[in-house]
Structure 1
């Protein structure tokens, strides 16, 4: 029987700690680990441009094929974007409050074994233009989309991708169908390449963590533990403060009723780390226990399983801020705006691929000029956090379904009388 990825990752992590302690004095061994780790990070970088573009095109053209938004669609996407933004801002607040990248008042880069030159990294961030919000706004429109792709200017590339995808969605039926088939093929091919790269993730984690342990010992565990705490605190805040407030103020229903109805689906999401795998149970809970009509759940939940990733967006934001703090960088408002915007877009754009958050983090770090060497360390603790954020993603889908049903005037949702229809 094939060993699941999370067990292989755990074995790689333990083996890396042992190897780092036993062979930390071997220069040749550490050089080999450095080369393998660099190859793994290069493979992640390779995915960024084609995957993001294909995901955007595939999603926008697919939306047109389903008949556009309409009232139900507008409510659904409005909820997903709004709560996604709230999740990211929650993560940003916890990352700035707990400062996981700072240990005893000093940047944690030495403890984490990050080798980048902080001064050079600051200069690179400044070259990206993230120190000024106006520069960020100017970068939204690239003068050369191909150049933006080549230089990793993801803000401009995403803007172009959104515009191009929208234009393709407006084409006549036969032309749109041709483009839809092409971009779906590209997207599916990139998903397979991403899956292949992630099969090598245990090897990449072993190489990166071994080098870190050899340089710093187990001191790296302290900032990583605080990073995990920041992520979990953000997820819990969103699950038990933000979403309940939205349910109470917008849908006028108590959150405890939804939590009780969704318990089987949430436990399944936590154990499988897959919103798509949990979808049948999510639909069963939301229809039979929360009493949401199928006409609403059948539209909102499948979309949410692929685009509503509050937990992932929050995680990506905290990870980016953590790595910036570790290098001693105090990101300006413009830089943090870039992180927030890209976390929101990439959480939607790469939601359907394996370890989507890992790819999205590489996009964000590249956009603001930070090195990717910290990604391997984050990957070492990713599995447990993936379980937590998937459960939040499913809870967010369920909350969206209840809110949309209530605003559409449905009666009996969570045993509450119907709201006056907004239409």
Structure 2
């Protein structure tokens, strides 16, 4: 949380300085751009260089862990199926609700143009892919070339197939391959940690360039983005409560009363992991067998991100709307599929890291610019509150649903190769 506030402060400081320079002299602002903006772009390139290897490594480890969990017992299997179904519903909700919100509460033309110009965007779009294009793009003829070209969808398809193949080989081979990708992921997390340590400098430079190009309108544009993303977060929380009432069968007053201590911890820490003890207490108050909760809740914290597909898709759909990119049904389907896969690859990562690794692949697969993420990560502090609240609602509701559907289930002693 401390680093998130530092990054946000750097963005505000850079934008205020840029606006101040513009107010003193437009020529000074224009002349300073070639010296300041490349610093931010260099940091952004360093951030983007980690995307492909990190996504591949984390997707392999995430899928193998999910597959192993699903095969560990009926309770774990039902829990994993619940996680996947809830994520799918949340992602579909965003694709339906956000376009409606953007039509009802549009950004002013001046603010939109200023923000778009400041982010270096363009309204030129490629032709929408046909259904045949969509099908042909699913399977890469050369996975290495797909990685080199940052063709995220075919790369994810190949990685997913490869990850499930790992779960079918012998125990020793599976351990070797899983260990390799875990080590690769850990090494890339170290690299991205170094890059994010420089985030205050990079974001300051990007914020300065944004303000010089867009002026005060940039603040209005970013505020609109935060409000739209927070609205989707609120809708995801509402969806979780509705699922708790109508699918899980818990009366709303009882569920909310049981969740009050968890909400308090979630808001103060913005961490699902830190909320785990409170969630165990909330589950007990809802009548969940403690032995079952001890299995499902840690699994949910490790594998389940109820708000990730919804809010990550919201970021990409918002950027597409801002840049005037019309998303076809196939592109939305691709984005939803990648969002579901990315949710598995963002397990247990800090918010600033998962923001980039989860959203960049979705943006690339949908043909949406990635560059705005370098600035949008700086204002993630506020929507992240809704992410955490939605995640704990989903975790407890899914635990109750999974536990109620399995009688006297116990985890197996091991996983069959």
- Taking structure 2 as the reference length, the TM-score comes to 0.88
**Where in structure 2 are the equivalents of 1:63-102 lying within 5 Å?**
63=66, 68-99=71-102
Q: In structure 2, which of residues 212, 215, 221 is the aligned counterpart of residue 214 of structure 1? A: 212
The residue that corresponds to 1:381 in the other structure is 379
Residues 231-262 of structure 1, C-alpha deviations (whole Å, 9 max, x = no match): 2222222222x223322332222133222212
Unaligned runs of 5+ in 2: 23-27, 409-417
Q: In structure 2, which of residues 152, 158, 161 is the aligned counterpart of residue 154 of structure 1? A: 152
**3-state SS, counterpart of residue 108 of structure 1:** helix
**For the structure 1 residues 106 and 21, does the alpha-carbon distance in structure 2 shift closer, same or farther, using more than 3 Å as the test?**
closer
Q: In structure 2, which of residues 33, 44, 47 is the aligned counterpart of residue 44 of structure 1? A: 47
Q: Is the 8 A contact 1:72 1:404 kept in 2?
A: yes
The residue that corresponds to 1:135 in the other structure is 133
Q: Is the 8 A contact 1:205 1:376 kept in 2?
A: yes
**For the structure 1 residues 84 and 327, does the alpha-carbon distance in structure 2 shift closer, same or farther, using more than 3 Å as the test?**
same
**For the structure 1 residues 66 and 326, does the alpha-carbon distance in structure 2 shift closer, same or farther, using more than 3 Å as the test?**
closer
Q: Is the 8 A contact 1:114 1:374 kept in 2?
A: yes
Shift of 1:184: 1.6
Shift of 1:317: 0.9
- Give the distance between the partners of 1:30 and 1:134, measured in 2 at CA: 44
**For the structure 1 residues 69 and 31, does the alpha-carbon distance in structure 2 shift closer, same or farther, using more than 3 Å as the test?**
farther
Q: In structure 1, which of residues 279, 282, 286 is the aligned counterpart of residue 283 of structure 2? A: 286
The residue that corresponds to 1:261 in the other structure is 258
Q: Is the 8 A contact 1:94 1:233 kept in 2?
A: no
Q: In structure 2, which of residues 247, 250, 255 is the aligned counterpart of residue 250 of structure 1? A: 247
**3-state SS, counterpart of residue 370 of structure 1:** coil
Shift of 1:155: 1.0
Deviates more, 1:149-158 or 1:199-208: 199-208
**3-state SS, counterpart of residue 275 of structure 1:** coil
Shift of 1:102: 5.3
Question: How big is the alpha-carbon RMSD for the aligned residues of Structure 1 and Structure 2?
Answer: 2.3
The residue that corresponds to 2:300 in the other structure is 304
**3-state SS, counterpart of residue 228 of structure 1:** helix
The residue that corresponds to 2:222 in the other structure is 224
- Give the distance between the partners of 1:66 and 1:186, measured in 2 at CA: 22
Unaligned runs of 5+ in 1: 411-423
Q: In structure 2, which of residues 143, 148, 158 is the aligned counterpart of residue 145 of structure 1? A: 143
- Give the distance between the partners of 1:193 and 1:256, measured in 2 at CA: 46
Shift of 1:38: 1.1
Shift of 1:64: 5.3
Q: Is the 8 A contact 2:240 2:390 kept in 1?
A: no
Q: Is the 8 A contact 1:270 1:391 kept in 2?
A: yes
The number of equivalent residue pairs is 399
Deviates more, 1:345-354 or 1:140-149: 345-354
- Give the distance between the partners of 1:137 and 1:261, measured in 2 at CA: 46
The residue that corresponds to 1:171 in the other structure is 169
Q: 1:116 and 2:112 equivalent? A: no
The residue that corresponds to 1:349 in the other structure is 345
**For the structure 1 residues 397 and 313, does the alpha-carbon distance in structure 2 shift closer, same or farther, using more than 3 Å as the test?**
same
The residue that corresponds to 1:18 in the other structure is 16
- Give the distance between the partners of 1:405 and 1:167, measured in 2 at CA: 29
The residue that corresponds to 1:329 in the other structure is 325
Q: Is the 8 A contact 2:309 2:343 kept in 1?
A: yes
Residues 109-167 of structure 1, C-alpha deviations (whole Å, 9 max, x = no match): 43341223322xx13xx4xxx53233223222111111111111111111111111111
- Give the distance between the partners of 1:223 and 1:93, measured in 2 at CA: 22
The residue that corresponds to 1:272 in the other structure is 269
Residues 72-94 of structure 1, C-alpha deviations (whole Å, 9 max, x = no match): 23321221112112212222233
- Give the distance between the partners of 1:300 and 1:137, measured in 2 at CA: 36
The residue that corresponds to 1:420 in the other structure is none
- Give the distance between the partners of 1:105 and 1:16, measured in 2 at CA: 24
Shift of 1:325: 1.1
Q: Is the 8 A contact 1:274 1:390 kept in 2?
A: yes
